[in-house]
Chains A and B, each alone.
Chain A
């Protein structure tokens, strides 16, 4: 064992911890994911408005399945950038649950907004509600996910 002082050891541990936290801050999803999600959200809003209920329902289910297939590799949050891949130990296993929970929460926002706009007599209420949520997802998706991760310590 080296004869370094405890204070030096503590400083070294702090430096190692800081480096780990910097990598942990890289956990997230690529920017393109959020814009694709926003575009999909808007598209579903439009389809829900112009199609009869059953094809719109099929489109929604198709979107959910497509998301599950295409984004499954991204949902672990380890591939936000192509500059590094965060280790599984640092990313944890709860990021996919947080993302899915966030999307369900956004559905929970879209539907009441659409109903409120419709009750207010707005035309194309579903499209406006979807556009609002799409803007929130596209511009604020990474930040919302970051806050949610902090809340649930994921």
Chain B
């Protein structure tokens, strides 16, 4: 079972969507992520760099024909962090919806 751990690095909405997208894929190309998340090239680069520096994401530059393409994938550290963050968010929601406990008499 995944240990719930809130991750401040992942939590900002753009970064969460980026990590969630990568968590659902083995890898994704830069252009796919840019289109899906509706980010500019520079904004996506910045987010990927932040995640890469934390060891959550690995990028790979590949030559496809005459064009250079960048692929990103979540590392096992990143996947664990994402799963832990989702578990933490679910715990917060569950705590809020749980019926209040009766105070001891």
Contacts and interface: CB of A to CB of B under 8 A. Distances in A.
Interface size class of B (residues with CB under 8 A): 20 to 34
Contact of A6 (B17, B23, B93): B93
A19 B25 contact: no
B53 interface: no
Contact of B86 (A6, A13, A82, A84): A13
Chain A, interface residues (CB within 8 Å), range:
20 to 34
Given A13-B89, A22-B36, A86 B25 contact: yes
Given A10-B93, A13-B89, A24-B24, 12 more contacts: A2-B8, A13-B90, A19-B18, A19-B24, A23-B25, A78-B26, A83-B28, A84-B26, A86-B24, A86-B25, A87-B24, A89-B24
What does DSSP make chain A's interface, helix, strand, loop or mixed? Answer: helix
Contacts of A65: none
A27 B23 CA distance: 15
Interface of A: 1-2, 4, 6, 9-10, 12-13, 15-20, 22-24, 78, 81-90
17 contacts: A2-B6, A4-B11, A6-B95, A9-B92, A12-B13, A12-B89, A13-B89, A16-B17, A16-B86, A19-B20, A23-B24, A24-B24, A83-B29, A85-B25, A85-B28, A86-B24, A88-B26
A21 to B, nearest CB: 9
By CB atoms of chain B within 10 A, which of A4, A12, A82, A90 has the most?
Answer: A12
Interface of B: 4, 6, 8, 11, 13, 16-18, 20-21, 23-29, 31-32, 36, 86, 88-93, 95-97
A87 B26 contact: yes
Contacts of A84: 25-29, 32
Contacts of B88: 1-2
Contacts of B4: 1
A100 B93 CA distance: 41
